[in-house]
Amino acid sequence: MSVLRRRVGAFLVDGFFKGTSRVAKLHPRARPERHGVEVRTNVPYAATGLPEHLCDIYKPKDRPGPLPVVLYVHGGGFRILSKDSHWVMGLMFAGHGYLTVSINYRLAPRFPFPAALEDCAEAYAWLAKNITELGGDPTRLILAGESAGANLVTSMTIAATCAREEPFAKRIFETGLVPRATLAACGILQVSDSARFGRRRQLPPWILDRLVEVETAYLPEPARAHGFELADPLLVLEGGVKAVRPIPPFFVPCGTKDPILDDSRRLASALSALGVTNELRVYQGEPHAFHAFVWRQNAKDHWRDTFRFLGEILAAEAKS
């Protein structure tokens, strides 16, 4: 029964996010020109020829450069979705003046940890090399992602500011490119011990199934055998990292009905303990990844808070 339940739950949850994205893209408001944005699709950030190593570049029209840059990493439990399903994120950031690079990466279970982070490091290095040519400002880089993407950008932030031994972390650190802010929305920030969510509060079995699937797909035993600290960036931060470069401010939004809200709260506490500027925003009554439904009031409030936070951070950086 549990196997059948998991399959049905996966079909419904995965299908909902994929279907909603496809249908929404048919709406006239989804056209980039309506937002003053031009889009280059399927730009390779690695010379592998793989679709997992492509990115889309959203650029505001008629804005003086160089522009602040968002490197966006999509969510989907490390298993599903893509840059194509997350087109709305590119439009939202670019429509507010941010050159946005939205990336694909290899997905579990075929490619477990650390494949996704290796690809993120490759994209980071590619962006560091090409950011000026693209019209971006290397001193105003923002890392952003939701759910699994929030996990990945938090790990990337650690890699950019802390000297670590993992090859993919070194790849990021050695670029010298340091983010000025990190947006970690509704993140699953500790992949191991996914059962903890059920211990904290009673959750429907089909939700717990999805969380267990994240862990078993992304972090199977062979991946654990080679060390997996940066699969759990929350634990790294809670352990008291010693950064050699300043850890940038974090914006941490989540909904009260999100089953993994506790990770966002722990992230804010860990950052505060490290003396890192952060803002935790919890939106009443909202489920996981609610901000993708941009027409809803709490989603509008989230985006308003996001751009206010970024504006304050970048203005303070410019003044200093």
pLDDT tens digits for range 253-307: 999 999 999 999 999 999 999 999 999 999 999 999 999 999 999 999 999 999 9
Task: Write down the pLDDT at residue 267.
Answer: 98
Output the pTM of the full model.
Answer: 0.93
Dihedrals phi, psi of 191, to nearest 5 degrees: -80, -35
Cβ neighbours for 150, distance < 8 A, ≥ 6 positions apart: 75, 183, 184, 185, 186, 187, 188, 189
**So what's the pLDDT on residue 32?**
84
Topology of domain 2-319, CATH: Rossmann fold (3.40.50)
Least confident of 19-28, 58-67, 127-136, 251-260: 19-28
Confidence class of residue 21 from pLDDT cuts 50, 70 and 90? Answer: low
**Spatial CA neighbour of 104 closest among 73, 126, 135, 61:** 73
**Confidence at residue 18, expressed as pLDDT on a 0 to 100 scale:** 56
> Would you say residue 1 has pLDDT above 90?
no
User: How far is the C-alpha of 320 from the C-alpha of 317, rounded, in Å?
Assistant: 5
- For 118, the token pair is 């290796």
Mean pLDDT throughout 176-180? 98
Give the closest residue to 306 by CA, choosing from 72, 5, 148, 130: 72
Is residue 15 over pLDDT 80?
no
Average pLDDT over residues 112-136: 98
pLDDT value of residue 316: 87
What's the confidence (pLDDT) of residue 72?
99
- The residue extents of the domains of the chain are 2-319
What was the pLDDT predicted at 33?
86
* Residue range 34-45: mean pLDDT, rounded: 96
Flag whether pLDDT at 24 surpasses 70. no
**Which neighbouring-strand residues pair with 100?**
58, 70
pLDDT beyond 80 at 48 = yes
- As a whole number, mean pLDDT of residues 154-181 equals 98
Render pLDDT for 67-92 as a digit per residue (tens, 0 to 9): 999 999 999 999 999 999 999 999 99
Instruction: Tell me: pLDDT of 177 over 90.
Output: yes
Q: Longest Cα pair distance anywhere in the chain, in angstroms?
A: 60
**Predicted pLDDT of residue 226:** 80
Rounded Cα distance between 154 and 167, Å, is: 17
Q: Which of 172, 162, 157 is nearest to 249 (CA)?
A: 157
Model confidence at 180, pLDDT cuts 50, 70, 90, reads very high
pLDDT recorded at residue 30: 72
Instruction: Name the β-bridge partners of 282.
Output: 254
In angstroms, the CA 83 to CA 54 distance is: 9
